[in-house]
Structure 1
Amino acid sequence: MDLGFADATAVVVGGGRGMGLATARCLAEDGARIAVIGRSADVLTEAADALTECGSPDAVGLVADIADQAQVDALFAGIGERWGGQLNVLVNTVGPGAAGTFEQLTDDQWLAAVDDGAMGMVRCVRAALPLLRNADWARIVNFSAHSTQRQSVMLPAYTAAKSMVNSISKNLSLLLAADEIMVNVVSPGSIASEALLSWAETVGVDGADPYALMSAIDEHFGHPAHLPRAGLPDEIGPVAAFLASRRNSYMTGANVNVDGGSDFT
């Protein structure tokens, strides 16, 4: 399906690896110009090369710390200069957080989870809005998590931050409706991301086997999906790409679960 990305411009924050890179690949294959944002220059260079091979006519990796508003502002100012003061797509995929029960987490860990999981998105949207408003069409896609609907006692701070993403995104969809800028959320379930694979290694599970990975998730967290396996980053990318595309012409304020099936809506 032609998603209408030919000659479009897109920024994927956290696009150097995992679900962010999988999303960026979908945009690149459809002809989008893409900037992937992260902290590791080597990872971003490799990602930009891969996106060029996928078909992007202008792929670049840009290093920035989204915890620093000045860096974020400078980043988007440079993107505006590169692409004529316009931006069609902003995808925010970042948001790690410390694991631990409510009693175990310190104030600093709570604040870090909110800063990484929600405020980074806020800073990027704030800086990108003038460019998005200048474009003929624009979309924002923010990544949340299914743990906002299926709680884990080990992830209270991370989940709280992702709940902020949901609320802020809903508010943005209302604010930006007059500009016809659509804002939606993707909530991945148990996806074989770098973080999940690292955890699997600590419990002696072969992360390359998505069925074994889901069995371990069921055993340790009691959160199995209806499907008997974990998901893959490449199964998230097409969903996020559709929400970010011109083909998505009437969906805004939605939270789309991509979790292999669950007991919540």
Structure 2
Amino acid sequence: MDLGFDGAAVVVNGGSKGMGRAAAEAMAAEGARVALLARGAEALADTAEALRALGSPDVVEIPTDLTDRGRVDAAFAALGERWGELNVLVNAAGPVDVGVGRRFDELDDTEWLSTFDIGTLSAARCARAALPLLRKARWARIVNVSAHSVRRQTQGLVAYTAAKAALTSFSKNLSLTLASDGILVNTVSPGSFLSQGLKNYILRLPSERQVDFDDLHAVMGIIAEDFGHPAQLGRVALPSEIGPVIAFVASRANTYMTGADINVDGGSDF
């Protein structure tokens, strides 16, 4: 299937690692121009090199603190000068370690604010800054990466899940707001993926509970025990398994789906 990315201008925030990188790679392989917004210069450079090798005709690395509105606005202003318009914005950044595995009464205000700042407000900042450029394009899409835990609550993800629930609600409202512009807005909600945040959580566990990250079924065992989120497929997923899903939702081939929340969780009752 031709997804219609040839020459398209794409921005992926949080695109230097994990699921954001996987989405960027999927679109680069389809011929998209890709801008990466993230904080780590080394990871940005490594991902940019990979995207060029996949065939992207233009890759831009912009080190950006997504909690800083001035930095975000400056990044999109630079892209406006370079490309003049945008076809796709993917908001893939999210809180990695804040509050994971800890209950409500163990979190303070600083941790709540930090989680919402990167988990929700970063997407709103990028959408606001990108909107004038998206409106200039012949076709445009916004994809926000939320979380399956919005449907499946657990005590150890309270702030993270609340921030992602806010992101899902924001996405639904934005789809309504931008429908008259022909800009489609959707959410993709991953279940248990082998993200850096999950790896960090497991590395903090007692040595007797450590598992080999290559054993995806064993990693799922930790998820099931600690968070109550087993998947019917019995394993966690790799970021590369969600990249093509995000790419389709963000693509020109998606012509009628907006306001949707696509669950990618390995099978569940939700």
Is 2:91 aligned against 1:86? Answer: no
Alignment check: 8 A CA contact 2:154 2:228 kept = no
- SS of equivalent residue, structure 2 residue 86: coil
Counterpart pick for 2:226 among 203, 215, 220:
220
- C-alpha deviations, 1:135-190, integer Å up to 9, x for none? 01000000000111101101111111101101110000000000110000010000
- C-alpha deviations, 1:85-114, integer Å up to 9, x for none? 200000001111322211110011111111
The runs of 5 or more residues in structure 2 that have no matched partner are: none
- Taking structure 1 as the reference length, what is the TM-score of the superposition? 0.97
Q: CA deviation at 1:217?
A: 1.2
Distance in structure 2 (CA, Å) of the matches to 1:71 and 1:134: 22
Distance in structure 2 (CA, Å) of the matches to 1:220 and 1:116: 24
- SS of equivalent residue, structure 1 residue 251: coil
Q: CA deviation at 1:206?
A: 1.1
Distance in structure 1 (CA, Å) of the matches to 2:65 and 2:250: 23
Q: Tell me which moved more, 98-107 or 168-177.
A: 98-107
1:166 aligns with 168
Distance in structure 1 (CA, Å) of the matches to 2:56 and 2:107: 42
Q: CA deviation at 1:219?
A: 1.9
Distance in structure 1 (CA, Å) of the matches to 2:138 and 2:228: 46
Counterpart pick for 2:242 among 212, 236, 240:
236
Q: CA deviation at 1:201?
A: 2.6
1:98 aligns with 99
The runs of 5 or more residues in structure 1 that have no matched partner are: none
Q: CA deviation at 1:221?
A: 2.0
1:56 aligns with 56
Distance in structure 1 (CA, Å) of the matches to 2:153 and 2:221: 18
Q: CA deviation at 1:202?
A: 2.9
- SS of equivalent residue, structure 1 residue 183: strand
- SS of equivalent residue, structure 1 residue 153: coil
Distance in structure 2 (CA, Å) of the matches to 1:9 and 1:127: 15
Count of paired positions: 263
Q: Give the % identical residues.
A: 56
Distance in structure 1 (CA, Å) of the matches to 2:94 and 2:195: 13
Alignment check: 8 A CA contact 1:210 1:229 kept = yes
One-letter amino acid of the structure 1 residue matched with residue 64 of structure 2: A
- SS of equivalent residue, structure 1 residue 229: coil
One-letter amino acid of the structure 2 residue matched with residue 127 of structure 1: A
Alignment check: 8 A CA contact 1:176 1:182 kept = yes
- SS of equivalent residue, structure 1 residue 103: helix
RMSD of aligned Cα (Å): 0.8
- Taking structure 2 as the reference length, what is the TM-score of the superposition? 0.96
